[in-house]
Amino acid sequence: MKFDVVTIFPRMIEAGLAEGVVGRGIEKGVVDVRVHDLRAFTVDRHRTVDDVPYGGGPGMVMKVEPFVRALEAVRAERGTPAAVVLLSPQGRRFDQAEAGRLSALGHVVLLCGRYEGIDERVRDLVATEELSIGDFVVSGGETPALVVIDAVSRLVPGVVGDQESVEQDSFAQGILDHPHYTRPAEYAGRRVPDVLLSGHHAEVRRWRMKQALRRTLERRPDLIDEGVLSGEQLDLLAQAADEESD
C-alpha cells in the first residue's frame, strides 16, 4: 500500500508514523509512505503557500499552484495514484467501509490543508474526492491524514500481526465491541462475569455477541441494520432489548 502525503508540516506526519502498528508495517515494507513538503513546490523567495481570500473576509486561503506541482511530482516519482483525497470537514464521512475501499486501491494521495481553507480549484483540478474524519474542526488535515493512513493500513495483509484481531475489531462486524477482562478475577469488589471463567467456548461466544449487540442498541442504535444480522444475532438482540439492562 502506497501513500503520498502533501503538507506544510512533514514532521507531524513522520512523527505520527514512527511508532506502533503502522510504523512496523512501514519497517516491514508492507506500507510505503512518502511525505512531500508543500513549500518545496513554491517558486517565490518567501515560499508562499497561502494568500488573502478574493471577496475579503478573515483568514487565509491555500494557493492552488503548489498543490498542482506537488501532484506532478508524485506522478513522476511514484506513478499515477488511484485516488487523491482532500481532508476537510466538507468531505464525505470517512468510516470503516471507506477504509476498506481505500485499502483496495493500492496507491492513495492525501492532501492536507491549513488556514481557513483551500482554493476551490484544488478540489476541481487535483483532488478526486474529499473525506472528513468527523463533524468537528481540527487545525489542519495532518491529523485526519494520519487517521486515514492508520485505519487503511490495518486492513493491508501483514500490517496487523494477528489477522483474526482485524476481523474481530469493532466495526469489522458493523457493531460495537463486547467488554473485555483480564486478571485479576475480582478487583474493587467487581467480579469478571462467571461465563468468561467457565471454559464454555460456545457460551462465551454467545455472551460476547449479546453484549456487543446490547451496547450497540444502547449507545449507537443507528448502527443496527437487522438486514445484515444472523438469526442468532437477531435472537440475542431481542433478548437484550427485553432485558434492557444486566
Catalytic (active site) residue 89: yes
Is the Cβ of residue 116 or residue 243 nearer to ligand 4GX in the bound state? 116
Rule CB under 6 A: choose which of 42, 96, 132, 170 binds ligand 4GX: 132
Q: Taking CB under 6 A as the rule, does residue 53 contact ligand 4GX?
A: no
φ, ψ at 225 (rounded to 5°): -120, 100
Toward ligand 4GX, which CB reaches closer, 28 or 93? 93
Q: How is residue 150 written as a grid cell? A: 492508520
Is 188 a binder of ligand 4GX (CB under 6 A)?
no
Q: Are 144 and 86 in contact (CB under 8 A)?
A: no
Burial class of residue 182 in the structure, from the number of CB atoms within 10 Å of its CB (0-12 exposed, 13-18 middle, 19+ buried): exposed
User: How many positions of this chain bind ligand 4GX (CB under 6 A)?
Assistant: 17
| 62 burial level (CB within 10 Å; 0-12, 13-18, 19+) | buried
Determine which residue in the list 49, 133, 212, 213 makes contact with ligand 4GX, applying CB under 6 A. 133
For residue 142, count CB atoms less than 10 angstroms from its CB and return exposed for 0-12, middle for 13-18, buried for 19 or more. Answer: buried
Does 116 participate in catalysis according to the annotation?
yes
Give the SS3 label for residue 233.
Answer: helix
Q: Which is nearer to ligand 4GX, 38 or 196 (CB)?
A: 38
CB distance 132 to 92 below 8 Å: yes
- Closest to ligand 4GX by CB, 87 vs 196, is 87
Q: Is 144 in the site for ligand 4GX (CB under 6 A)?
A: yes
The answer to whether 16 contacts ligand 4GX (rule: CB under 6 A) is no
Is 169 part of the annotated catalytic residue set? yes
Task: Point out the catalytic residue in the list 95, 130, 169, 235.
Answer: 169
CA dihedral 181, 182, 185, 189 (to 10 degrees): -60
Pick the binder of ligand 4GX from 138, 228, 234, 238 (CB under 6 A). Answer: 138
Given the rule CB under 6 A, which residues bind ligand 4GX?
Answer: 86-89, 113-114, 117-118, 132-134, 136-138, 140-141, 144
Q: Annotated catalytic sites, by residue?
A: 89, 116, 154, 169
